[in-house]
Structure formats: C-alpha cells, structure tokens
Amino acid sequence: MTKPAVRVAVTGAAGQICYSLLFRIANGDVYGKDQPVILQLLDLPQAQNAVKGVVMELEDCAFPLLAGVVITDDPKVAFKDVDAAFLVGARPRSKGMERADLLLANAEIFKVQGAALNAVAKRDVKVLVVGNPANTNAYITAKSAPDLPAGNITAMLRLDHNRALSQFAAKIGANSADIEKLAVWGNHSPTMFADYRFATVKGEPLPKLVNDEEWYRGTLIPTVGKRGAAIIEARGLSSAASAANAAVDHMRDWIHGTNGGWVSMGIASDGSYGIPEGIVFGFPAVCSNGSYEVVKGLEISEYAQSMLNITLKELLDERDGVSAIVG
C-alpha cells in the first residue's frame, strides 16, 4: 500500500542550490524510495515565474514519488503542516565577502520564517538551515519559533564534513566511506574545526595514517575552512550541487539514522563542551529513530580547545550582532 505523502518545504526554490536539491528530494533521496512527497516551494514574489519553470522541469522528470507541488511567496502557506523544511532561500555571498557579511541582510528572513514555522508547521518538523550565515540563521529561526523544540532547528555543517572526508581520503589514498568518527565543530565559516583525533579508517586511527600533524593543522583545516571561497573564486558563484548533496545527506541521516556512525550537525547547544546553551554549534552526532544525540564525553585537548574557542567567539559575536533583531 502507498504511504501517505510527507510535506517538505523548501525555500529559495528558484535559486541555484534548489535547482539540484528539489530533484533529489523528488527522487526519494531524502525520505526513501517508498515515500511520496509533496513539495511546498517558497520564493520571493519576483521569483515566482522562475519557480514555475523549475516545477515544469520537475513534472518533466515524471518522478513517481512526487505527489504534489505548492508554489507560494507566503511562508505560512509554504510551511503549513510540513514534516521537514529546508531553509535555503537567502542572499549568497560574492567574491571578497565573508558569510558573516550576510548577517543583517539575511537575519530578517529567518525571523519571519521562524515565526511562520512556529504558527503552521507540524510540531515535530525537522528544519535544516542552509542559507548563510547558517548557524546564526538557525539560532534566529529557533528564537522566533518558541513553540517548536529548539533541537529540531539545525544548521548545515555537513558540507564541511564531506569536504574534510574527501581531503583526508585523497591524502591517505582511502575511500571516504571508510573514514569514521570525523567531527566538524563550530561555525560554518573559516573558523570551523575539522577534528580528526577520533577518526578511524577500518579500525586504524586516522591521525596515525596521515602521520603529518603539520599538514593537518596548516593545510587540511584551512583548505576545508576556505573551500567555499575557493569555489566562488573558480566558478564565480557559490557552491550549489555539493551544498544540495550535503543537505540531502543531513536530512536523510536525521530521518533514517546513521547506524552508530558520526555526522556533523549544527545543533542548539545543551551546554555540552562548554558551549553556551542555545548557540547553534557544529557537533559530532549520531542519528537514530528520527532523532539525534550529540556525541558526549570526548576529550578536548589544548589545541582542540583553542580551536573551539575561536569558532565559539565568532558565533557569540554573530549572536550579539543580531540581538536587536531577535529581541
């Protein structure tokens, strides 16, 4: 028997990330190959025509799982009764900008959308914020949606996680799928901390296989941290297909679980590791039964602590920067 359809809201539907993301969701890559989905697409009034064009292309794929599409410029229509929401729509940065430069331009969007989710989404809606600066936008969304569990509003660190996996795999000649227990902590920004101290490859410690702490600190960490800027430099546009892929990975794992594997997610802190409560911070997490748990009790070395302090400081500054908007 066919399952009832789930409702998935996606914002920024006319944009570059959605040009990949929507097709992946409609193909069953997030909810699974037996789960019909209804897409509820939000974009600005001036982008409605472009969204219609994308929907024509979705129709032309004849996806068996696509049970319906709603197109709207009203967040309360887009988020009505949704099971999941991908908050992608926001201004992207261009050459020479840092993601934090988008803070005030995008903060208002997430305040409005948080309030709309609060009003009309399912009470257990799973929200992934992709629009930058993703952690602080997720923080604003959560603060604007006081009736939803703050834990259900997450930010995307998965692109950084996947970037780090690829870089390590290339360094040691391994398959990225064999690297386990990698963690990316902190902000989705150049201050993020890709932490390989607990990672293993087929049971062997990754630091031992890399055997080059100088490369790890001096090359791997900045390469992953500045990868978004490198892509903008090369493409003239910010990453899109890889961002959509990371969004699919994040939501699919949250829904279906990770079989004990670690992933990196931007999560509202419960105070773990000295991160102030409510700050949306990249943590290692394990997903099961439609929920996630931060990996607790990891030893934090002096170097790791210094890296956590840097990325936390940036997030606290961002939080202070939006305090007038969040109230």
Annotated ligand binding at 38? The verdict is no
In the bound state with ligand NAI, the residue whose beta carbon lies nearer, of 132 and 136, is 132
Cα–Cα dist 81/123, whole Å: 9
Active site residue 256: no
Of 113, 141, 239, 245, the residue at the interface with ligand OAA (CB under 6 A) is 239
Of 75, 131, 228, 284, the residue at the interface with ligand OAA (CB under 6 A) is 228
CB-side exposure of 116: number of CA atoms within 13 Å? 21
Tell me the C-alpha to C-alpha distance, in Å, between residue 36 and each of 33, 61, 165, 193, 255: 8, 15, 31, 37, 15
Does 159 engage in binding with ligand OAA (CB under 6 A)?
Answer: yes
Does 16 engage in binding with ligand NAI (CB under 6 A)?
Answer: yes
Q: Tell me the window of 104-112, 168-176, 225-233, 289-297 that interacts with ligand OAA (CB under 6 A).
A: 225-233
Q: Which helix (H) or strand (E) holds 155?
A: strand 153-155
In the bound state with ligand OAA, the residue whose beta carbon lies nearer, of 75 and 228, is 228
Q: Which of residues 75-114 bind ligand OAA (CB under 6 A)?
A: 92-93, 99
Nearest residue (beta carbon) to ligand OAA: 228
- Cis peptide bond N-terminal to 133, omega within 30: yes
Does 132 engage in binding with ligand NAI (CB under 6 A)?
Answer: yes
Phi, psi angles (nearest 5°) of residue 280: -85, 110
Cα–Cα dist 185/204, whole Å: 22
Annotated ligand binding at 305? The verdict is no
- Return the number of other C-beta atoms located less than 10 Å from residue 70's C-beta: 15
Q: Which of residues 195-224 bind ligand NAI (CB under 6 A)?
A: none
Cα–Cα dist 250/128, whole Å: 8
Cα–Cα dist 9/38, whole Å: 8
Annotated ligand binding at 91? The verdict is no
Which of 161, 188, 250, 256 is catalytic? The answer is: 188
Binding site for ligand NAI (CB under 6 A): 11-12, 14-17, 42-44, 47, 88-93, 109, 130-132, 134, 156, 159, 188, 238-240, 243
Active site residues: 188
